């Protein structure tokens, strides 16, 4: 049978896992009781990616390790995008006004830089064939209003 669960998080900035983990409640609680899984990243990627991930302990992923893993993988995706893109992101002052342009690297990141993204939940499921999928719910942080 398929198992499935949703793990809510306070809005965790993907670019600052240390601060985020320090603020977590029950950070050592096992939240995904499986050592091996596939992490599926979709936002803000034109080409979603599935990555094999391993918990640091056989009992599975703690709340803190899950956040750390997701943050590290997002950082890797942004680094790989930067290295493989011919179309580079606009300069920071232009991105502040226009948002991040779509780049043409391996993942086709669009709309948001890493510091703008927050993790609000994780959905995980164990398929009937025992494969475990982890799907983070990532969204942009609300931007402060710019003066007119």
Residue range 74-117, pLDDT digits in tens:
999 999 999 999 999 988 888 878 889 999 999 999 999 999 99
Residue range 46-57, pLDDT digits in tens:
999 999 999 999
Q: Is 131 helix (H, G, I), strand (E, B) or coil?
A: coil
- Look at residue 92 in the predicted model and tell me its pLDDT: 83
Whether the Cβ atoms of residue 58 and residue 30 lie closer than 8 Å to each other: no
- Look at residue 44 in the predicted model and tell me its pLDDT: 97
In degrees, rounded to 5, the angle at the alpha carbon of residue 127 between the alpha carbons of residues 55 and 74 is 45
Helices (H), 52-144: 63-84, 92-98
Percent of the chain with pLDDT over 90: 83
Question: Residue 126 pLDDT more than 90?
Answer: yes
Question: Residue 146 pLDDT more than 70?
Answer: no
The two most distant CA atoms of the chain are separated, in Å, by 55
Report d(CA 47, CA 42) in Å as an integer. Answer: 7
Q: Which residue has the higher pLDDT, 4 or 145?
A: 4
**3-state helix vs strand vs coil in the chain, percent to 5:** 25, 35, 40
Token pair 């390790």 in the structure block, residue: 65
Question: Residue 35 pLDDT more than 90?
Answer: yes
Question: Residue 6 pLDDT more than 90?
Answer: yes
- Look at residue 143 in the predicted model and tell me its pLDDT: 65
Report d(CA 40, CA 137) in Å as an integer. Answer: 10
């Amino acid at each position: 049978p398929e198992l499935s669960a949703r793990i809510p998080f306070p809005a965790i900035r993907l670019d600052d896992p240390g601060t985020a983990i320090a603020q977590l409640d029950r950070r050592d609680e096992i939240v995904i009781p499986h050592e091996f899984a596939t992490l599926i990243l979709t936002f803000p990627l034109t080409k979603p990616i599935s990555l094999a991930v391993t918990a640091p302990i056989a009992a599975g992923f703690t709340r803190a390790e899950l956040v750390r893993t997701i943050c590290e993988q997002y950082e890797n995706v942004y680094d790989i995008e930067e290295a493989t893109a011919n179309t580079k992101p606009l300069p920071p002052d232009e991105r502040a006004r226009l948002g991040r342009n779509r780049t043409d690297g391996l993942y086709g990141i669009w709309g948001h830089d890493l510091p703008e993204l927050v993790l609000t939940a994780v959905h995980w499921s164990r398929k009937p064939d025992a494969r475990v999928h982890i799907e983070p719910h990532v969204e942009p942080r609300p931007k402060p209003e710019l003066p007119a």
